[in-house]
Amino acid sequence: MTAARLHRVDAIVLTPARRATATAAVGRTGYQAKAAWTDPAGQQDTGTVDVTRHALPGSTVSIRVTDAGRLAAPPASAADLVGDAACFGLLTLGCLSVLVASGLGLRLHFLARTAARGWQDSWARTEPVWTGRSLRGPGTHGPQPG
């Protein structure tokens, strides 16, 4: 399959611009109008195209069409590309931060568990000597005479 090439052609606006909120980006008001153009094969086509708010019938707008003359979406603007790259970078940074924080949390959990186990083992050896319990016999309350 070969990729369709895009061609920039001038279209003549046929109707006044009207508000088109369904296709507009968030926070922006888009306008559309019916227009006519000649495709790369020389055929006349008409359709609804995005225009500025002040587009009047008879004015021209630049549009992009495929080899077959079908309307194509305009390429992404530099601002859109920068915004997408920034969002992707922040998402990646956030995911990596969560992974690092999770790894550090697990490491700290295992270190704390190992330290507690070591402390218990050490205390089990030290406590009888420290408290003098190792010198007492079973059932006595003090050191046994020697």
The domain segmentation of the chain, as residue ranges, is: 7-20+30-75, 79-135
Local confidence band at 40 (pLDDT 50, 70, 90 cut-offs): confident
User: 119 or 139: which carries more pLDDT confidence?
Assistant: 119
Percent of the chain with pLDDT over 90: 43
Distance between start and end Cα atoms, the chain? 100
Q: Give the range with max mean pLDDT: 47-61, 74-88, 105-119.
A: 105-119
Residue 146 has pLDDT above 90, yes or no: no
Q: Which amino acid, residue 84? A: D
Local confidence band at 41 (pLDDT 50, 70, 90 cut-offs): confident
Residue 79 has pLDDT above 60, yes or no: yes
Residue 142 has pLDDT above 70, yes or no: no
> Could you count the other beta carbons within 10 Å of the beta carbon of residue 7?
15
pLDDT of amino acid 90: 97
CB 51 within 8 A of CB 34: no
CA distance 21 to 54: 16
pTM here?
A: 0.49
Average pLDDT on 82-87 reads 96
pLDDT of amino acid 99: 98
CA distance 48 to 71: 9
- Supply the DSSP string of the chain, one letter for each residue: -PPPPPEEEEEEE-S--EE-TTTSPTT---EEEEEEEE-TTS-EEEEEEEE-TT--TT-EEEEEE-TTS-EEPPPPPHHHHHHHHHHHHHHHHHHHHHHHHHHHHHHHHHHHHHHHHHHHHHHHHHHHHHHTGGGS-TT-SSPPP-
CA distance 2 to 5: 9
pLDDT of amino acid 28: 60
pLDDT of amino acid 2: 52
